């Protein structure tokens, strides 16, 4: 038996090792493919731009040189030059040149004093150009690539680095004409060692190189922590993409963290089945099934403070999930799972019973108003009526408010009947998060509720302009018309409190007064007889 167990552990370890190795290979293949795809995309753009730049230059300048019988720098010629510049994507500042002197340009018109043009770096039968020479029209304070054909000259527009803003990827283009390397556009900060002249003797030592066509040569190598790709066209210009490997992992933290987490998880597992068993045992669904029956749902209480000093204090009962690691999970994280599992009624029962018991033990039951959230189906099914009958003494029903949560109503007739039965006991009904989701004016009319809660998203936007203030004012007006009181939740600042007071909101709830607290912290908050914003705690009196 021990031999079989040892062999099983050996096989499991071997399988685990194979999984780790395959994962490493797959990870680096994925990253390398992503790098290659990014580099190829940039180089494809470079190819396209190179062709478009050349084509646009020759097309435009041939058209200008072919203009018949126009006086140099005449109004008609300047008009044609400006039309050409307007339609140009890469070239601008077209100028007319004669005998090495610039006579007029699209931006300045006819010059009072002709300006000498810089000497060309390269001169051939069809055109001439200079790389990064001072622009005479700008007093030489700016450099640009300039090209001439016939009597006309144009400047290459400044290029924005065609990569994204990632710090781990650099891109630049360089001219090789004349036997020297000169920056054209993009990142000019590459170390000289990675700028290779397009001659075989210069790149024999790199990782790999290939001739893509008669005019294109692709070179790739690794140097100084960077993976470098260089594409040269017609032995005239090169585009260089450099990817800083460590910089990539430093900036792309999500990828780095994902890889690290996967490595740690794989190395810590003792068997192939452990991950599946672990997932099954500790899944949220599994925890919910166990926890609803084992006291994992706890209640926190947040004060609801009245604006009027004659009204008693209240609170909202808010549920929290204590997972098996001792962490608090908030409702927006587990309520959707509760609903999918059809456990909303069980959750409502646990929260209701827990809140009644804790308030009673703290001698607060009957002394303060309290609100509990409930799903519409909890009222439709009669669950809340049964819970109230079983756990809440009849004389305290008028201290309870049921807040209908934001959810689509399945059966309005059943819900309306349930609400009427609850109100007959003295229980108050409130529409939670009014103005969002499924809560609307029609619900107020059909259900005859007692109050509405203004969603915190409206309160947080009070300082951002008149729109949110107008929405809150309209909600308060609706409440006044229907004889309902309003509770504003999410109040966090004195400015919000003052605005709500001016809008005649009756009750305030939010961090400005207190965060939700366990029953002991809540009772301590009230027992201090604390004043916050000049609102003194007042209890219900018999």
- Per-residue model confidence as pLDDT tens digits over 165-189: 567 777 777 776 666 676 666 676 6
Strand partners, 300: 318
Q: Residue 44 class from Cβ within 10 Å (0-12 exposed, 13-18 middle, 19+ buried)?
A: exposed
Cβ(507)–Cβ(314) under 8 Å? yes
- Determine how many CB atoms are found less than 10 A away from the CB of residue 329: 18
Name which of 328, 331, 330, 300 is nearest 315 in CA terms.
300
Please provide residue 419's backbone torsions phi and psi, each rounded to the nearest 5 degrees.
-65, -45
Question: Which is higher by pLDDT, 22 or 319?
Answer: 319
Q: Give tens-digit pLDDT for 35-73.
A: 677 777 777 777 777 778 888 988 999 999 988 878 889
Which has more pLDDT, 370 or 70? 370
Residue 459: how many other CB atoms lie within 10 Å: 25
Distances (CA, A) of 535 to 176, 303, 311, 452, 507: 78, 12, 11, 22, 11
- Residues 252-265 have pLDDT tens digits of 676 677 677 666 66
Is the separation of the CB atoms in 266 and 23 below 8 Å?
yes
Report how far residue 447's alpha carbon sits from residue 90's, in angstroms, rounded to the nearest whole number.
67
What is residue 290's three-state secondary structure?
helix
pLDDT, tens digit, 9 for 90 and up, residues 380-390: 999 999 999 99
Task: Determine the 3-state secondary structure of 496 from DSSP.
Answer: helix
CA geometry: angle 77, 82, 83, nearest 5 deg: 95
Confidence (pLDDT) at 239: 77
Mean pLDDT of the chain: 78
Q: Which residues have CB under 8 Å from 352's CB, separation 6+?
A: 372, 384, 387, 391
CATH class of 296-529: alpha beta
Number of other CB atoms surrounding residue 27 within 10 Å: 15
Cα 112 to Cα 250: distance, rounded to the nearest angstrom: 56
Question: What count of other Cβ atoms lies within 10 Å of the Cβ of residue 29?
Answer: 10
For residue 104, the model assigns a pLDDT of 93
Higher pLDDT pick, 418 / 145: 418
Sign of CA dihedral 373, 375, 379, 384: negative
Q: What is the pLDDT of residue 21?
A: 67
Q: What percent of the chain has pLDDT over 70?
A: 73
Q: What is the pLDDT of residue 119?
A: 79
pLDDT per residue as tens digits for the range 506-516:
999 999 989 99
Distance (Å) of CA 201 to CA 144, 204, 230, 231: 31, 6, 16, 16
The pLDDT of residue 243 is above 70: yes
The whole-model pTM stands at 0.50
In the chain, domain spans:
10-154, 169-248, 296-529
Nearest to 248 by CA among 259, 237, 264: 259
What contacts 421, CB < 8 A, 6 or more positions away?
385
In the block, tokens 């940039």 appear at 42
pLDDT given at position 18: 65
Give the model confidence (pLDDT) of 396-431 as tens digits.
Answer: 999 999 998 767 777 888 999 999 999 999 999 998
């Amino acid at each position: 038996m021990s031999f079989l167990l040892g062999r099983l552990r050996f096989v499991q370890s071997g399988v685990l090792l194979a999984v780790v190795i395959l994962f490493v290979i797959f990870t680096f293949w994925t990253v390398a493919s992503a790098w290659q795809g990014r580099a190829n995309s940039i180089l494809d753009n470079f190819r396209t731009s190179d062709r478009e730049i050349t084509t646009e230059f020759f097309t435009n300048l041939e058209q200008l040189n072919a203009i018949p019988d126009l006086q140099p720098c005449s109004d008609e010629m300047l008009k044609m030059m400006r039309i050409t510049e307007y339609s140009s994507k890469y070239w601008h500042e077209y100028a007319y040149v004669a005998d090495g002197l610039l006579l007029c340009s699209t931006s300045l018109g006819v010059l009072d004093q002709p300006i000498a043009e810089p000497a060309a770096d390269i001169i051939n039968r069809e055109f001439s150009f200079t790389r990064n020479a001072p622009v005479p029209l700008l007093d030489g304070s700016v450099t640009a690539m300039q090209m001439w054909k016939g009597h006309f000259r144009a400047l290459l527009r400044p290029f924005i680095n065609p990569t994204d803003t990632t710090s781990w990827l650099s891109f630049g283009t360089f001219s090789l004409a004349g036997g020297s390397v000169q920056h054209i556009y993009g990142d000019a900060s590459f170390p000289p060692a990675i700028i290779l002249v397009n001659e075989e003797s210069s790149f024999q030592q790199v990782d790999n190189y290939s001739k893509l066509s008669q005019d294109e040569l692709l070179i790739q190598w690794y140097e100084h922590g960077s993976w470098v790709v260089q594409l040269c066209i017609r032995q005239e210009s090169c585009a260089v993409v450099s990817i800083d490997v460590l910089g990539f992992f430093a900036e792309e933290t999500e990828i780095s963290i994902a890889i690290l987490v996967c490595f740690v998880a794989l190395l810590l597992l003792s068997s192939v089945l452990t991950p599946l068993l672990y997932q099954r045992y500790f899944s949220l669904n599994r925890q919910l099934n166990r926890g609803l029956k084992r006291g994992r749902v706890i209640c926190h209480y947040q004060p609801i403070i009245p604006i009027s000093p004659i009204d008693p204090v209240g609170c909202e009962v808010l549920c929290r999930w204590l997972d098996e690691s001792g962490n608090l999970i908030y409702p927006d994280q587990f309520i959707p799972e509760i609903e999918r599992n059809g456990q909303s009624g069980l959750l409502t029962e646990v929260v209701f019973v827990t809140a009644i018991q804790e308030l009673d033990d703290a001698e607060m039951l009957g002394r303060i108003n309290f609100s509990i959230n409930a799903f519409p189906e909890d009222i439709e099914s009669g669950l809340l009526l049964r819970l109230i009958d079983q756990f809440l003494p009849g004389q305290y029903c008028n201290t309870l408010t049921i807040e209908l949560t934001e959810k689509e109503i399945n059966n309005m007739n059943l819900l309306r009947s349930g609400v009427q039965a609850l109100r007959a006991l003295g229980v108050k009904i409130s529409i939670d998060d009014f103005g969002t989701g499924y809560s609307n004016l029609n619900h107020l009319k059909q259900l005859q509720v007692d109050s509405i809660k203004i969603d915190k998203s409206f309160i947080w936007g009070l300082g951002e302009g008149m729109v949110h203030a107008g929405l809150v004012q309209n909600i308060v007006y609706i409440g006044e018309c229907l004889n309902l009181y309003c509770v504003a939740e999410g109040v966090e600042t004195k400015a919000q409190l003052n605005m709500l007071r001016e809008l005649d909101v009756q009750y305030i709830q939010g961090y400005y007064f207190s965060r939700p607290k366990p029953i002991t912290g809540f009772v301590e908050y009230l027992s201090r007889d604390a004043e916050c914003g000049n609102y003194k705690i007042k209890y219900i009196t018999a």
